[in-house]
Amino acid sequence: MKESLPLGRIAGVRVGLHWSVLVIVALVTVMLAGGRFPDAHPHHSSWAYTVLALLTALVFLASLLVHELAHAVVAQRNGVQVDGITLWMLGGVARLRSEAPTPAAELRIAGVGPLTSAVLGAAFTGLALWLDAIGVSGLVVEAVAWLAAINVVLAVFNAVPAAPLDGGRLLRAYLWHRTGDPVRATRGASAAGRALGWFLVVLGFAMVLFEGNLSGLWSALIGWFLITAATEEARHAELGAVLAGLPVRRVMTRDPVTVRATVTVAAFLAEGPFGAYRHSAFPVLAADGAPAGLVTVRLVNEVPVQARSATTVADVMRPLADVATASPDEAVVDLLPRLEASRERRALVLDGEHLVGIVTLADVSRAVSWLTATTRPRT
């Protein structure tokens, strides 16, 4: 899930919002302002319901962020690097750079999420009781009570033992500990996730068809997300088994063709595709030879024709901070999630501050094809 709006860093973790987060803000606001709040506490103005509902939706998003931050902080403490957190329509996603090293670490990383939501639920419950005791408006108390309830629901739902929910991670940790095989454990958790997903899809459409309840569409959407995510986890586990122990240096393209940051777009285009630049993406080097970013033909093509003589590659390139990078000795299986999440589906391979190669998803796919062909038993 790619972020659309970066929010900066919290506890050293990059945080961003996906555009679909507007959907959940709108849904929560409409649901509270148009239903729950007026039903529970009538005789307030419509703007009061709307403003309070919007604030409640934003606090709910903050609760999701705290949940994901808990995962990220515990992951870092267990030696797992975190690329970032993205909030989106169906919650939040903490992007871990690699898998947990042990079942115990997996248990801690996964378990802290539902625990955090449960603690938030208890805290909001206590706050609602205190506000009610001191005579604060019942409408405000209702908003805090809803936040308490929704966090408890999140804690319970996330604890369901089905991937990709936190409970699925807990199930994976248990199966990993019991069998000693992380791939087999992932298969089990993913199968449980797909089963739960199909149940929610069928339940959702049944609600729509037999009861005329359109909220069933939301259940079906969540179910479809669980099916897709669980299937993807199983696929990554199988890839991990094939790519186990394979370093990036074995699949990368060594000494790739580069372009200087000071070259104009016009000069760059004059050299391709029949000159030096025969590919569609190139590492960009600064004046001192250090890697500065990545430029693609698509980025160059966005420059107006009349401005290409005065525009340099540095003006249009993707800065190094926004490009996926890897070290030559890093495991391909650990790089793969970053490659798939990157805009350009490429990663620059750096040995210290020196560029030594470039790796693409196509390179990984070729490696998987060869490894599968050489290890598959003949029939």
Residue 339 tokens read as: 């490659």
Residue 274: is it exposed, middle or buried by C-beta count within 10 angstroms (0-12/13-18/19+)?
exposed
């080097």: which residue's tokens?
A: 285
**Nearest in space to 103 (alpha carbons), one of 178, 26, 200, 25:** 178
Q: How many CB atoms neighbour CB 33 within 10 A?
A: 21
> Which amino acid makes up residue 328?
P
Residue 76 tokens read as: 């870092």
> Cα separation of 214 and 206, whole Å?
10
Residue 85 tokens read as: 């957190």
Residue 59: is it exposed, middle or buried by C-beta count within 10 angstroms (0-12/13-18/19+)?
middle
> Cα separation of 280 and 274, whole Å?
12
Which residue intervals of 212-244 are DSSP H helices? 216-243
Reply yes or no on whether 142 is catalytic.
no
Single out the catalytic residue among 68, 106, 142, 233: 68
State whether residue 26 is helix, strand or coil.
helix
Active site members: 68
